[in-house]
């Protein structure tokens, strides 16, 4: 193969190993829709500015649409010797419309072309991820409302700490995911500038209209510096950073599901739809979906780390190293999409074992803080003194092998004579959670109000622009409900 795409500078084709390391069409082929979209906007602008004659613009546009249709039908031949999707599309366009296809590359370079394609792909993917995170928030909020009064243990250091409700626990992830959506929105807003027209690195001498191309592709504006336009991938890095944080949130929840579904905990049940069996132990029901969500967080964080290392030593402007931005970004964001789908399915599927949760909520003297608060509230005792008294009461209960609510009043009075039988009202787990009425607390009434506010906020919103969208039609989902502000 000769280097025919590069013209007269090269007399022979690349070495086989050069072709092996250089080709990217095996993975950048997924940029085909974005590449054609960008080319259509570019050629339309060239026509409007009089840089290309109308007949050429029409021929190229029709040819690009034919290529787009072939790709959609699965009939497009991705030829490895053409190196990347940009050359593959241009080569097929040449077969369809002849030499006129060569005019498409007027006033642009592959450098600004690929930077634009990547921004478009990342933007499209962030919009899709935003919708998925919103759906996960919805199912969590539905569970929160349903299980607003289902008592469960709250942990610190994975040790029983204080009773909370299952609904309150679900809402904790709704809040985390809301911040994830905010990070996706911020990343999207910063990437929404169009590099096309920056050319290789210095701009172009043709009288192009970069603002028109940016508007046609749904960008807010063109990038302001031609060097920066082709030299940086911070939009991908920021998106991967946001994806990594979201993946960590999902991983933490997945870890809880792994623990909660174990025989030792038995807090929740997952059906056959999200568990697998063992090849040798017929009794096993393994939470493999949760385990894989947990594992894929490493894959997503790894993509961020990998791209940071690729970029850290590159001089301006473009270097071939930057071809390595694609595989990791594609894989990470699509892995996150899969994790979100799996987690949403598991939340819909899981069933809390309410009696086990209630029993566990009262273990480990989880209402000790309620006793200390009662001593402060009813006896006017300084909290540090109440903490000390409560510790002695817990020790006495532990010595007898009973819970705080089972310790006789006389035994408590031996430690603090002012304690009355009214104290038993705060030692039950239901009473404990019901008393936590402070803003953001676990009281069932609080949980219901928050769950209902989130569900109202997360109601689907129809797009109003009728086109590709700006991604902001879902922005209302990302903010905290006014009721919770």
Q: The CATH number of the domain where 448 resides is what? A: 1.10.40.30
- 387 is annotated as an active-site residue: no
CB neighbour burial string for 234-264, b if at least 16 within 10 angstroms, e if fewer: ebbbbbbbbbbbbbbbbbebbebbbbbbeee
108 contacts 199 by C-beta, under 8 angstroms: yes
Please determine, for residue 5, whether its predicted confidence score (pLDDT) is greater than 90: no
Rounded to an integer, the average pLDDT of 233-253 is 98
471 compared with 45, residue with greater pLDDT: 45
Closest among 36, 30, 31 to 66, alpha carbons compared? 36
The tokens describing 414, both together, are: 């031996």
Q: Are residues 187 and 80 in the same domain?
A: no
Query: What does the pLDDT read at residue 480?
Result: 52
Q: Which one of the listed residues 2, 262, 271, 278 is annotated catalytic? A: 278
| CATH number of the domain residue 135 falls in | 1.20.200.10
pLDDT in tens, 191-225: 999 999 999 999 999 999 999 999 999 999 999 99
The residue range of the domain holding 346 is 112-148+165-204+224-358
With H, G, I as helix, E, B as strand and everything else as coil, classify residue 153: strand
Would you give the DSSP letter of residue 199? T
Residue 475: pLDDT band (50, 70, 90) is very low
Confidence at residue 362, expressed as pLDDT on a 0 to 100 scale: 83
CA geometry: angle at 63 spanning 58 and 68, to 5°? 125
The average pLDDT across 284-308 equals 94
In this structure, are 66 and 116 located in the same domain? Answer: no
pLDDT category of residue 23 using cuts at 50, 70 and 90: confident
Same domain, 353 and 382: no
Q: Tell me: do 182 and 289 sit in the same domain.
A: yes
Token reading at 468: 């590709």
Least confident among 17-21, 199-203, 238-242, 407-411: 17-21
Q: What's the pLDDT band for 58 if we cut at 50, 70, 90?
A: very high
**pLDDT band, residue 468 (cuts 50/70/90):** very low
The active-site residue out of 157, 205, 279, 438 is 157
Are 119 and 99 members of one domain? no
**The dihedral formed by the CA atoms of 122, 125, 129 and 132, expressed in degrees to the nearest 10:** 180
Question: What CATH number corresponds to the domain at position 45?
Answer: 1.10.275.10
Q: CA-to-CA distance for 132 and 432, rounded, in angstroms?
A: 35
Q: Is 205 a catalytic residue?
A: no
Residues 219-242: pLDDT tens digits? Answer: 999 999 999 999 999 999 999 999
- Domain count along the chain: 3
């Amino acid at each position: 193969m000769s280097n025919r795409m590069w013209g007269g500078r090269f007399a022979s084709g690349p070495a086989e190993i050069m072709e092996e390391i250089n080709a990217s069409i095996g993975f950048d082929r997924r940029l085909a829709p974005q590449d054609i979209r960008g080319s259509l906007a570019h050629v339309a602008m060239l026509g409007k500015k009089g840089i290309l004659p109308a007949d050429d613009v029409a021929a190229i546009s029709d040819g690009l649409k034919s290529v787009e249709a072939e790709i959609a039908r699965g009939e497009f031949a991705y030829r490895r010797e053409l190196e990347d999707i940009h050359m593959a599309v241009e080569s097929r366009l040449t077969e369809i419309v002849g030499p006129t296809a060569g005019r498409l590359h007027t006033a642009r370079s592959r450098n600004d072309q690929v930077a634009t394609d990547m921004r478009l792909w990342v933007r499209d993917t962030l919009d899709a991820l935003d919708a998925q995170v919103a759906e996960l928030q919805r199912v969590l909020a539905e569970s929160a409302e349903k299980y607003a009064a289902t008592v469960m243990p709250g942990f610190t250091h994975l040790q029983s700490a204080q009773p909370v409700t299952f609904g309150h626990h679900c809402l904790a992830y709704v809040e985390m995911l809301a911040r994830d959506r905010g990070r996706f929105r911020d990343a999207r807003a910063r990437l929404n500038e169009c590099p096309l027209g920056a050319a290789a690195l210095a701009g172009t001498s043709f009288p192009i209209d970069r603002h028109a191309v940016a508007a046609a592709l749904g960008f807010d504006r063109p990038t302001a510096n031609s060097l920066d336009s082709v030299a940086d991938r911070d939009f991908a890095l920021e998106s991967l950073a946001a994806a990594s944080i979201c993946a960590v949130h999902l991983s933490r929840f997945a870890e809880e599901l792994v623990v909660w579904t174990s025989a030792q905990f038995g807090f929740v049940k997952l059906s056959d739809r999200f568990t697998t069996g063992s090849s040798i132990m017929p009794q096993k029901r393994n939470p493999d979906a949760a385990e894989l969500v947990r594992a894929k967080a490493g894959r997503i964080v790894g993509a961020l780390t990998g791209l940071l290392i690729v970029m850290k030593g590159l001089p301006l402007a473009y270097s071939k190293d930057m071809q390595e931005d694609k595989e990791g970004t594609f894989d990470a964001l699509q892995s996150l999409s899969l994790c979100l789908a799996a987690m949403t399915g598991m939340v819909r599927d899981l069933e809390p074992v309410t009696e086990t949760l209630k029993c566990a909520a009262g273990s480990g003297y989880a209402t000790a803080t309620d006793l200390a608060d009662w001593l402060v509230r009813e006896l006017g005792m300084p909290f540090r003194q109440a903490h000390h008294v409560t510790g002695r009461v817990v020790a006495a209960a532990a010595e007898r092998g009973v819970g705080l609510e089972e310790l006789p009043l006389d035994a408590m009075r031996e430690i603090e004579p002012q304690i009355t039988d009214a104290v038993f009202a705060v030692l039950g787990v239901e009473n404990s959670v019901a008393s936590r009425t402070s803003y953001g607390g676990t009281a069932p009434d609080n949980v219901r109000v928050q769950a209902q506010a989130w569900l109202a906020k997360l109601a689907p919103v129809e797009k109003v622009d009728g086109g590709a969208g700006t991604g902001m039609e879902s922005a209302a989902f990302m903010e905290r409900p006014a009721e919770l502000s």
